[in-house]
Structure 1
Amino acid sequence: MNTRRQFLTGAVAAAGAAMLPRTWAADTRLLTATDVHVKDYPTVEAVRWIGETLERETDGRLKLRLYHSGQLGRESEAIDMARFGAIDITRVYSGALNNAFPLTRALCLPYVFDSVAHMRRALDGGLAESVLAGFASRDLVGLAVYDSGARCFYNTKHPIVMPKDLHGLKLRVASSDIFIELVRLLGANPTPMSLGDTFSGMETHMIDGAENNMRSFHSSRHFEAAQYWSQTEHSYAPDILLLSRRTFDALSPADRQLVRETARASVAVMRAKWDESEGKARQAVLDAGIRSNEVDMAAFHAAARPLRDRYLQQPEIQALYRRIRDAA
């Protein structure tokens, strides 16, 4: 992709220059942000709002250029680019962070959150800050936790009501041990794959379906390939907004505080956009003929419990889980 190639060519030179000790207390600073989602996705709009706010609050000294729709590559690539200073800000699904940042696992485990409202209470009660602090160990600064709705299964074959209905299906999952293990435990065949490759994977019958939230199901146009949506709500794994540590260290103390505060304020912006757009997305896919069904939630809870209980043997995960349940 030309956009990515052109960006990376310039980023190599910029990253080399960034190795020099300096700050941008007075100079104009252009921040680069990336997201795999489309231009009107709630997380994209929230980051766009961050850029507009920073530019207004600094009289144009801090600006932000946003690359959406995966123009700069996959989330796994964006994480590394941020760590090494090739980009400044990236929004990443927490499942893609599980293996490298263990505290994010508590947010992704099946059936730890009861609802969006429960998740938001837990995050706002200090849970988000605890998880974000864990990124400091690997050249990243955690800025915000964006929620992303209930993740459910969808497929090209048939409705899923009981876990046994998943048996034999090939399902796309994020590159996260938790989601790979969960799908396997439920009897399906997990296939790690990028979001961008999922549509063609279903069209060519490489996979039978996937799991994601309703907003992504609509914006990625997966509903055009998979006509069965099953409301399993097996995870409320949120998104994480990350900043390169090199960028953070190069900013003045005042600008660091401004970036942090603006990112935190963007959570409310993202949630408002999410709540507004999720209902519209659901109606749009139903109007397109998608067959949506409820599931035997007790059966899914029971089937997923062994996985959750095994992760809860880790003291740091158990501590976060207790805080989550206290907010229920």
Structure 2
Amino acid sequence: MRMMRLLAGVALASLMGVGAAGAQTVLRSSDTHPDGYPTVEGVKYFGELVKERTDGRYEVEVYHSAQLGEEKDTIEQVRSGVIQLNRVSMAPFNGTVKETIVPALPYVFRDEEHMHKVMDGPVGDQIKAAFEPVGLVVLAFYDAGSRSFYNSKKPIRTVADMAGLKFRVIQSDIFVDMTAALGANATPMPYGEVYSSIETGVIDGAENNYPSYDTARHVEVAKYYSLDQHTILPEVFVMNKAAFDAMTPEDQEIFRKAGADSVGRQRELWTEMTENSRKKVEEAGAQINDVDKQGFIDAMKPVYDKHVTDDVLRKLVEDVRATQ
């Protein structure tokens, strides 16, 4: 951790003007999604607010489309201070921040409104605090909608239809175990490899939300989109803690407030894009169907038994379910 702070301090100092009044600090932020995607635009808006509220002393450069690497790589870059900001899915943090296991659990949220209430409340605050010991400060939780399975073979209507199919999943043990509990085979791989892997038959499909299914053009190679809606997994926007700690308390408050203020903008854009993406994939020939969701929910008991393993996590699950 001491080495991470040192590296972050060096990286931050190298970006700052030396000795001049009003010196500017340029912070780099990574996102795997394309330009215009709601998370990218949410971070851009955050950057606008920071620049305005610090009178230009800080500027945020957003590197979209995995220009700085896939999520696993950029998580290590932001923890070490090579980059200062990062928007990633919460699932890849399951191994380092155990509290992130809870929002990644299948069917833990009733719907997106329930997820908002949970992540905007005390449970969200507890999860934010858990990032700091691993060198990160959470500035915002962003929407990523509900994730469902899609494939190139057939519609999925019941758990039995999942048998034997090969799906790409996020690099997370929970997603691997969830897929196995449904009788399918999970293949963790980087997001950027999914299209070619479906096209060449390495996998049969993947699981994601409408905007990702649309913008990554997976609809071209996997026409069957089945609305099992297994997870409503928030995205997380984080900052290197050493870089954050190097700022004045006043600037820290500006960054925290800008992160919170960017959430509303991101959610508006997300709702709009989800509606547009559903229309686009339907026009592109996607066959969208409902599923026997209760069967999927019932199949998740082994996943909870394996991953909700201590009192902290059990209490968090109870708190999520009790949130009205």
Measured against the shorter chain, the TM-score band is: over 0.9
Hey, what's the Cα distance between the residues in 1 that align with 2:243 and 2:20? 10
Identity %: 38
Preserved CA contact (<8 Å) 1:92 1:240: yes
1:231 maps to which residue?
A: 227
Matched, 1:78 2:74: yes
Hey, what's the Cα distance between the residues in 1 that align with 2:210 and 2:12? 41
Preserved CA contact (<8 Å) 1:152 1:230: yes
Hey, what's the Cα distance between the residues in 1 that align with 2:65 and 2:236? 17
Structure 2 residue aligned with 1:157, among 131, 153, 158? 153
Bigger Cα displacement from structure 2, 246-255 vs 28-37: 246-255
Offset of residue 182 of structure 1: 0.7
- What amino acid sits opposite 1:317 in the alignment? L
CA RMSD of aligned residues (A): 2.2
Hey, what's the Cα distance between the residues in 2 that align with 1:241 and 1:123? 13
Offset of residue 306 of structure 1: 2.4
For residues 185-222 of structure 1, the C-alpha deviation after alignment (integer angstroms, 9 at most, x for no partner) is: 11111001011111111011111001111111111111
Preserved CA contact (<8 Å) 1:159 1:229: yes
Matched, 1:264 2:264: no
For residues 115-145 of structure 1, the C-alpha deviation after alignment (integer angstroms, 9 at most, x for no partner) is: 0011111112222111111111111111111
Hey, what's the Cα distance between the residues in 2 that align with 1:23 and 1:127? 43
Preserved CA contact (<8 Å) 1:223 1:285: yes
Preserved CA contact (<8 Å) 2:109 2:115: yes
Structure 2 gaps of 5+ residues are 1-6
Hey, what's the Cα distance between the residues in 2 that align with 1:203 and 1:245? 41
Hey, what's the Cα distance between the residues in 2 that align with 1:27 and 1:254? 17
Matched, 1:132 2:125: no
1:314 maps to which residue?
A: 310
Bigger Cα displacement from structure 2, 120-129 vs 108-117: 120-129
1:37 maps to which residue?
A: 33
Preserved CA contact (<8 Å) 2:9 2:243: no
Structure 2 residue aligned with 1:286, among 245, 265, 282? 282
Offset of residue 14 of structure 1: 5.5
For residues 265-293 of structure 1, the C-alpha deviation after alignment (integer angstroms, 9 at most, x for no partner) is: 11111111111110110011001110000
Hey, what's the Cα distance between the residues in 1 that align with 2:318 and 2:95? 21
SS at 2:299's partner residue?
Answer: helix
Offset of residue 28 of structure 1: 1.0
Q: Residue 292 and residue 139 in structure 1: after superposition, are their counterparts in 2 closer, same or farther (change >3 A)?
A: same
- What amino acid sits opposite 2:11 in the alignment? A
2:140 maps to which residue?
A: 144
With structure 2 as the length reference, what TM-score do the two structures score? Answer: 0.93
Offset of residue 26 of structure 1: 4.6
Structure 1 gaps of 5+ residues are 1-10
Which of structure 1's runs of 4+ aligned residues deviate more than 6 A?
Answer: 22-25
- What amino acid sits opposite 1:292 in the alignment? I
SS at 2:259's partner residue?
Answer: helix
Hey, what's the Cα distance between the residues in 2 that align with 1:158 and 1:310? 30
Preserved CA contact (<8 Å) 1:111 1:301: yes
Matched, 1:186 2:196: no
Hey, what's the Cα distance between the residues in 1 that align with 2:20 and 2:118? 36
For residues 214-253 of structure 1, the C-alpha deviation after alignment (integer angstroms, 9 at most, x for no partner) is: 1111111111110000000111111111100121122121
With structure 1 as the length reference, what TM-score do the two structures score? Answer: 0.92
Matched, 1:254 2:258: no
Hey, what's the Cα distance between the residues in 2 that align with 1:16 and 1:92? 21
Hey, what's the Cα distance between the residues in 2 that align with 1:161 and 1:135? 38
Offset of residue 312 of structure 1: 3.2
2:3 maps to which residue?
A: none
Offset of residue 305 of structure 1: 2.3
Preserved CA contact (<8 Å) 2:227 2:290: yes
Structure 2 residue aligned with 1:221, among 217, 225, 233? 217
1:123 maps to which residue?
A: 119
- What amino acid sits opposite 2:173 in the alignment? D
Offset of residue 263 of structure 1: 0.4
For residues 13-62 of structure 1, the C-alpha deviation after alignment (integer angstroms, 9 at most, x for no partner) is: 963956x9x99995211111110001111111000001111111122111
